[in-house]
Structure 1
């Protein structure tokens, strides 16, 4: 959270840390995860349009003249592209529903034959495909059509108390891709009485198993672990950066 109105990008906006609208700076972060651990590898400060329309205010915060408004998915797309262009090895790109809903991000990854597992909301607009190509549907509606035998228990990684177990199911999306890549709607269901569900759009190599996709989806929490470590060990939540350059150092 930031008081005042001079820190670069500060505005009353939704803060994931606070879980509500606060006067704050908001960043988009890129994390890298492997079997050896995880780390934050890139970041961009989000500038609301109220900032980019006021060039004098930008100048006072040392924001370069050429910096224009960009949505958070567009910023994420640029960081992912830069990492891939630099040769960073990547099995899957992951992201939450803000990024999964961005079709341009998905198209960029598909054009590069880069697998992804991207979360979407239950009401995300979809086409049913096949003989009912133009019929509108949603992940929530498609998941309601699963039979009991369609679900299987798989781990989404290790938690503090052992494997994080959920029920998983998937449905093949009828889109074709060169190289045999497959499109899926992946659904995760809590094993509690609530049966709460989460949904993912998947672009995967041919033959990818349900267990593999479940494990990949669970890796998205690596970025939360990165934030926790950065706050506890490096004081990320005590950030006092005010200027654009200070924030990006």
Structure 2
């Protein structure tokens, strides 16, 4: 799960408002779309989308009418939209080993609890200052991810790959801590951290809910796959015009995104078929197979 922001200059395009843009790193006039992607060893593709409707739009009948916003669409936070989207995909039988998302979603209690209630594993990013509360010896202890990680001994960190990058494996130091939490049967909740090899101060934090026999390597590999959706955005923007939507209406925005996603899925399928066909084929560096 992730979102993209499309900058706009006017005020008439549906959902446009002054809001935070991760693309620009500041508050600016833009539209925000919430997207779901599916990733596997063969490739990735966007599979669902919905426009975020700010309160200034949701509560303005005149603007809603002008942009043809359906009556049933009400204001919802991005994590609430993600809950509905993921639940719909899971109900439709979409196979899913892990749900992955950035800190906007990982920091939301309701989003995590929805996944846990469904027995769905996840690795969700969380902010370094996210408040954590635990009961220890009948006392409530309050802390945060940054504080917990600062106390870890050096031997706790393990170098592992977060997946293949353009220049080879993306290596980081990883560590995890079990959290005192009543998880579902067969599941455990961990606090996961990823530290840069070059800059020990650059640390990313995650909640990881997974089968109790999941290894640190399993969780690191899952966390590394979150960037697949960013690759989907990049390809859809550069090749297919995802961010070139000029439609002002609710239906126009969703139709544009649907067409772009369909084209991107077609290209992803071609790429996946080529990778499957090439899988296992020998090349000049492959060991020679013994003669029959």
TM superposition score normalised by structure 1: 0.97
Q: Which residue of 1 aligns with 2:285?
A: none
1:165 equivalent in structure 2: 171
Displacement of 1:128 in angstroms is: 3.5
**Aligned: 1:176 with 2:182:** yes
Q: Which residue of 1 aligns with 2:231?
A: 225
- 1:208-243 Cα shifts (integer Å, max 9, x gaps): 000110010000000100001101111112221211
Q: How many residues align?
A: 249
Q: Deviations over 1:75-124 (max 9, x none)?
A: 01110000000000000001100101111111110011000000001110
Rg larger in structure: 2
Once the two structures are superposed, the pairs formed by residues 18-57 of structure 1 within 5 Å of their partners are: 18-57=24-63
For structure 2, the 5+ residue unaligned runs are 1-6, 256-292
1:100 aligned residue: 106
Tell me, in whole angstroms, the C-alpha distance in 2 between the residues paired with 1:154 and 1:119.
Answer: 18
Matched with 1:90 is 96
Displacement, 1:132?
6.5
Q: Is the 8 A contact 2:116 2:184 kept in 1?
A: no
- Take 2:199 and 2:159, find their aligned partners in 1: how far apart are those partners? 15
* In 1: Cα distance, 2:11 partner to 2:232 partner: 28
TM-score, normalization by structure 2: 0.83
CA contact (8 A) 1:130 1:174 kept: no
Deviation at 1:194? 4.5
Contact 1:55-1:65 within 8 A present in 2 as well: no
Query: 1:127 and 2:137 equivalent?
Result: no
Unaligned runs of 5+ in 1: none
Q: CA RMSD for the aligned pairs?
A: 1.2
Task: Please list, as runs of the form range in 1=range in 2, the aligned pairs for 1:141-220 lying within 5 A after superposition.
Answer: 141-220=147-226
The whole-number CA distance in structure 2 between the counterparts of 1:35 and 1:214 is 15
